[in-house]
Structure 1
Amino acid sequence: MAKSKEVTVEERLRSLYDLQLIDSRIDEIRNVRGELPLEVSDLEDEVAGLKTRLEKLQSSLESVETDITGKKNLIEEAKTLIKKYSEQQKNVRNNREFDSLTKEVEYQELEIELAEKHIREFKAQIEQKKEVIAKTKEHVDQRVNHLKHKKSELDAILSETEKEEKALIKKSEEYKKKIEERLVAAYTRIRKNVKNGLAVVPIERGASGGSYFTIPPQVQMEIGARKKIITDEHSGRILVDGLLAQEEKEKMEKMFKKL
């Protein structure tokens, strides 16, 4: 049986740097989207809340209009009773009956007066509520238009990047399978703990990428030899030499163009 080919340190470094380039590309795409998905979600919640408020205001307006109808009915009933008591006064047998009917008429007149006062108050409430409803409707329209604009913006970005992002995520998983689990775990841990998610960086001007700490010449030579995996003692990032990084960048750029 043929022995499976042993993966060299250089091959591991290349695979790790390729994985970094893929994941960095995914990060770039997500950064383009930025806060837009969250903005859209917040706007949707805001619009839903405003619409609920509008419904409550409309319901409250209808309730006041129902109260006015009730008071108008009460006035009509009171007028009917006044007419009835006034007719009865014409046929009373004594002053006591007349006075009793007079009190009933006065009571109904007070009921009419009170109902008319309530109707005036209700009408003032209606005007206030209509004003609030009009302002709320205007605010809802503004936020709905803003939401449409933001959704359109997000949809445009998604249509441009979604296909590429999915392909890159698939590639990222494929490349992780090429690397031993121990290294993938280390890479993932470093990525979470460092700025910009850069876990594998090349040496630039004698320092690790994105760092100002100089790497000793002896260590630079060891990195260039590609015989062992070396990490930056300051940031913990995995280090690769500039030439390897350049070769892998060119290779991966060609792959990205095909996605």
Structure 2
Amino acid sequence: MANTKELSVEDKLKAIYALQLIDSKIDEIRNVRGELPLEVEDLEDEVAGLSTRLEKLKTDLEVIETQIKDKKNAIDDHKASIKKYTEQQKNVRNNREFNSLTKEIEFQELEIQLAEKHIKEMKASIEHKKEVVAQTKERLEAKQTHLKHKKAELSDIMSETEKEENFLTEKSAEYRGKIEARLLEAYDRIRTSVRNGLAVVSIERGASAGSFFTIPPQTQMEIAARKKILTDEHSGRILVDSVLADEVKEEMDNIFATI
């Protein structure tokens, strides 16, 4: 970092503009990927959510099947009790005993009716859940297919651009190492505050590139002199003259051509 302090203003401007060209190239690559990584992530979350839901539905179905089995066993027990109480009625000594057994039989019959009602409700629940399972399976399969295509698409883009991005990322780090901390902080701050990520722009036809605001002739002369670092009063961007910009661009194009 000691060498960065020894750079002339002109060299600083060249380094910062070169960095801008590199970072803009990286931005282009990432724009090609666009929202694809996020889409893949969202689809993975949806697939995981649907898979979890499907497992829960299957568990619910198993629980209901077990409950139906338990109710059927209970009905068998109630029927056995009715048979037992009916047999006992044949050997009663008085009406009180007979009536008591009759009440027990009626109670067992009511329990059977209630169990049958519950079985009917649970069977209806099973049918409904089976429909939901079928719909969830269908949605899951569709999402899995969609995810597979999106992953393949992302993989293709990544394999095409990975080498270039890695090279440019290394170059970006290399040029960042040439620039003093204060200027680099300003560059990063401007880059994050503007929509297109352009923190350094050249003068084109008397205005900063991409802007309609004219730069005063005196300021244009100061920028061309390369004696101090100047910014656009409207956008805050660092300004370089068009000749310097063309020189650096040609140099960087030669570097980019080697990728």
Q: Give the TM-score normalised by the residue count of structure 2.
A: 0.89
Counterpart Cα distance in 1 of 2:21 and 2:230: 18
Equivalence map 1:223-234=2 (5 Å): 223-234=223-234
1:156 paired with 2:188, answer: no
Q: Could you tell me which residue of structure 1 aligns to residue 182 of structure 2?
A: 182
Q: Which residue in 1 is equivalent to 2:106? A: 106
| Partner Cα distance (1:86, 1:186) in 2 | 96
- Alpha-carbon spacing, 1:127–1:45, altered in 2? closer, same or farther (3 Å): same
Query: What are the equivalent positions in structure 2 for 1:16-35 lying under 5 Å apart?
Result: 16-35=16-35
Q: Distance in 1 between matches of 2:255 and 2:17?
A: 14
Alignment of 1:48-197 (within 5 A): 48-197=48-197
Q: How many corresponding residue pairs? A: 256
The code of the aligned residue for 1:108 comes to Q
Mark the CA change 1:103 to 1:227 in structure 2 (over 3 Å): closer, same or farther: closer
Structure 2 Cα separation of the partners of residues 97 and 29 of structure 1: 92
Amino acid at match of 2:250: E
Runs (4 or more) in structure 1 with deviation over 4 Å come to none
1:54/1:5 CA distance change after superposition, 3 Å: closer
Residue 6 of structure 1: CA displacement? 4.8
Report the alpha carbon displacement of residue 233 of structure 1 after superposing the two structures with TM.
2.2
Percent of aligned pairs sharing the same letter: 69
SS in 1 for 2:23: helix
Question: Distance between the aligned counterparts of 1:61 and 1:177, measured in 2?
Answer: 63
1:203 match: secondary structure: strand
Which shows bigger deviation, 240-249 or 197-206?
A: 240-249
Secondary structure of 2:109's aligned partner: helix
Residue deviations 1:59-114, cap 9 Å, x none? 22222212211110011112222222333333344444333333333332222222
Residues 194-251 of structure 1: per-residue CA shift (max 9 Å, x gap): 3311111111111111111112333323323333322222222222222221222122
Deviation string, structure 1 residues 1-50 (Cα, Å, up to 9, x no partner): xxx99533222221111111011111111212222222222222222222
Indicate if the aligned counterparts of 2:15 and 2:175 stay in contact, CA closer than 8 A.
Answer: yes
Letter paired with 1:151? K
Q: Which amino acid aligns with 1:7?
A: L
Distance 2:245 2:233 in 1: 20
Name the CA distance, whole Å, in 1 between partners of 2:6 and 2:59.
75
Q: Distance in 2 between matches of 1:5 and 1:201?
A: 23
Task: Tell me: CA distance 1:86–1:15, structure 2 relative to 1, closer, same or farther (3 Å).
Answer: same
The SS at the match of 2:79 is helix
TM-score of the superposed pair, with normalisation by structure 1: 0.89
Q: 1:28 & 1:74 partners in 2: Cα distance?
A: 71
Could you say if the C-alpha distance between residues 117 and 180 of structure 1 is closer, same or farther in structure 2, counting changes exceeding 3 Å? closer
Contact 2:5 2:180 in 1 (8 A): no
- For 1:178, what is the secondary structure of its paired residue? coil
Counterpart code for 2:193? N
1:117-174 superposed Cα distances (whole Å, 9 cap, x missing partner): 2211111111111112211221222222222222222222222222322221221111
- 2:205 maps to 205
| Distance across 2 between alignment mates of 1:229 and 1:106 | 100
Once residues 7 and 103 of structure 1 are traced to their aligned partners in structure 2, the CA distance between those partners, rounded to angstroms, is 106
Matched, 1:244 2:241: no
Aligned to 1:257: 257
Q: Distance in 2 between matches of 1:19 and 1:210?
A: 18
CA distance in 2: counterparts of 1:124 and 1:57, whole angstroms: 15
The answer on 1:46 being equivalent to 2:62 is no
